[in-house]
Amino acid sequence: MKKKVIILATGGTIAGVGEEGKIVGYIPGSIAVDDLIAAMPKLKDVADIEALQICNINSDDITDKIWIRLANTINELSKDPNVVGFVVTHGTDTMEETAYFLNLTIKTDKPVVFTGSMRPATSISADGYMNLYEAVCVATSNEAREKGVLVVFSDCIFAARTVTKTSTYHVTAISSSGMGAIGIVRDGDVYLYASPSKCHTTKSLFDVKSIDKLPKVSLLYFYADADPGLLEYAAKSSDGIVIAGAGAGEFSESYKSIIEKFNIPVVVCSRIDGGIIFKENLLCDNTVAADNLSPQKATVLLRLALACKIDRQNLQEIFMKY
Ligand code: GLU
């Protein structure tokens, strides 16, 4: 019996349609997942494919509700012993946030592999088909089990926690900056060279079974002479704040004097790609260091921590662990 892989489609450029042969000016989330699969008959040689259209949108429109639905759907379907793994197709813009959310909330060791594309399906040399094929190959791989959520893009395998989008146009736009890929795919064969060490999936404490939305967290980017009024405004309508500070999570004296008075949690990251914030770097005692989590991923972890009622005093430990 062939292995069964479930493809959960959410839209993005991989399902994008534009002027035949062109790359720019297309509409993401236009092709139904069944049509994507039909255009890639080789997938059937790798696995029995079942497809679920979760939504068909531009990934900039992804919401907490879609994240929770994806996590709960995968948790339910993974109980089927015939299912060996999952592929999630997703727009590249926010793929890293959704992949990290699932990395923290799914309760299975079976591979869950994200993919997408930089060129719409109707362009010359569209990259989505190859990416989808390679993602299905990784989803069937025994070696890819217990690695947390993975992202397969342009022959490379990345871990959800460190993957990020690094270009607005290269076909290799999905990458891991300083951390690098943990494996590669070649002619459908999977080669893995590293394992993520931070807590994920079956060992993660985060459970969204009985949650239908996440608390609101605002992300503010510090820049020279930034208006501290933005902080006060954001704090009024947020349950938590993430700051993308300059350098090792720094900001101005005027920012500091406002942040010091906040009663809501404030997590400090770096606006630098590859920045790491240690507790020793913190300018305010009431803030939490994000380790090397990107600001956008820190919003995901903070929202989950708040949803799961993690105490303020345990927040720092959570940010070091996940
Ligand atoms: N903004 C679109 C999205 O994220 C296009 C980016 C992409 O899929 O590559 O869905």
Q: Where are the beta strands (DSSP E) in 96-155?
A: 112-115, 150-153
Of the CATH numbers 3.40.50.1170, 3.40.50.150, 1.10.540.10, 3.40.50.970, which one belongs to the domain with range 4-203?
3.40.50.1170
Q: Are 238 and 218 in contact (CB under 8 A)?
A: yes
The pLDDT of residue 245 is 98
Q: What is the pLDDT of residue 142?
A: 97
Looking at the chain, the whole-number percentage of residues with pLDDT higher than 70 is: 100
Cα 90 to ligand 1 centroid, rounded to whole Å: 8
59 lines ligand 1 (CB under 6 A): yes
217-321: what CATH class? alpha beta
pLDDT digits (tens, 9 = 90+) for 101-116: 999 999 999 999 999 9
Q: What is the CA radius of gyration of the chain?
A: 20
**Is there a shared CATH topology between the 4-203 domain and the 217-321 domain?**
yes
pLDDT band at 37 (very low <50, low <70, confident <90, very high): very high
CB 25 within 8 A of CB 130: no
Average pLDDT over residues 135-151: 98
Q: So what's the pLDDT on residue 270?
A: 98
Nearest CA to ligand 1 atom 3: 91
Average pLDDT over residues 168-189: 95
Cα 157 to ligand 1 centre (Å): 19
Catalytic residues: 13
Q: Give the start-to-end residue ranges of the domains of the chain.
A: 4-203, 217-321
Q: What are 230-276's pLDDT values in tens digits?
A: 999 999 999 999 999 999 999 999 999 999 999 999 999 999 998 99
Look up the pTM and report it. 0.97
